[in-house]
Amino acid sequence: MRLITWNVNSVRLRLPAVAELLASAAPDVLCLQEIKADDSKFPFEALREIGFEHIETQGIKGYHGVATLARQPLEKLEPIEFCGKQDGRYIGVKLEDGTEVHNFYVPAGGDEPDPEVNDKFRHKMDFLAEMSQWGAARDQSTPAILVGDLNIAPLETDVWSHKQLLKVVSHTPVEVDALNHVQQSGGWRDIVREAIAPDVPLFTWWSYRSRDWAAANKGRRLDHIWATASAADRMKAATVIKEVRGWEKPSDHAPVLAEFA
């Protein structure tokens, strides 16, 4: 099974890129974040025509929204409204073999890493706390994969400059600690970093602000694939499909792929 997670930054705008990705990488499961479409605007028909018959969405008007697509039948799990908000940041499905796939879009958190003055950052920290509680409460013996734009780069090698980004939202110690707690509470393993050594710089996001993003390479690894032990032990390979960031009208995120036996 080949699984891809990608913050597509508008599924309608990026539909040609989605089709090209599906043709070139041939995933069995595709998890999208920031689809920016509710069900009335989501391109179900176009995606089914290229082989993804089974689609579950948690979309809203405007921003946010997540969707999981598969070539095999899906069973949608019970929706969860983290932080009591209906903001399209989570969708869970079960595959035919019983493996659960949990697709997340964690709040970015704004610019100031202080919950006392920044409500967006408070939302992010509260969301991560509820993710920890959710992970601790679920049956960890069930094979499961957690994917998505988690909006945190935890390792020093997950950012272009650890020193310069220590006080920048997405790499602050308080966020990294919270993300590590989510991972530990749920029994998750960072399988991308099991496939790619932690001392190797690895990014999945490059800002639109850079005129030549590839040359500057000021990236961050914000997009992740985790798995519980029974699923992680089946992982064969993982990679960031970096070239997608350079396609026409790109998202600022690159897809991340994991292959399982």
The pTM of the full predicted model, rounded to 2 decimals, is 0.97
- Per-chain mean pLDDT for the chain: 97
Reported as a pLDDT band with limits 50, 70 and 90, residue 142 is: very high
Q: pLDDT at position 62, please? A: 79
Q: 43 is in which domain, residue-wise?
A: 2-260
The string of pLDDT tens digits covering residues 40-68 is 999 999 999 999 999 999 998 878 999 99
Is the pLDDT confidence value at 163 over 90?
Answer: yes
- Spatial separation of the C-alpha atoms in residues 37 and 88, rounded to whole Å: 10
Q: pLDDT at position 84, please? A: 94
Kindly give, in sequence order, each residue whose CB lies less than 8 Å from that of residue 200, ignoring residues fewer than 6 positions away. Answer: 157
Burial state string for 200-229 with b = 16 or more CB within 10 A and e = fewer than 16: eebbbbbeeeeeebeeeebbbbbbbbbbbe
The string of pLDDT tens digits covering residues 14-30 is 999 999 999 999 999 99
Q: pLDDT at position 60, please? A: 87
Burial state string for 158-194 with b = 16 or more CB within 10 A and e = fewer than 16: bbbeeeebeeebbbbeebbebbebbbebbbbbbbbbe
The string of pLDDT tens digits covering residues 183-216 is 999 999 999 999 999 999 999 999 999 889 999 9
Q: What does the block give as tokens for 246? A: 């350079």
1-14: average pLDDT: 97
Q: pLDDT at position 251, please? A: 98
Q: What does the block give as tokens for 153? A: 């780069």
Q: How many domains does the chain have?
A: 1
The CATH code of the domain that includes 157 is 3.60.10.10
Reported as a pLDDT band with limits 50, 70 and 90, residue 233 is: very high
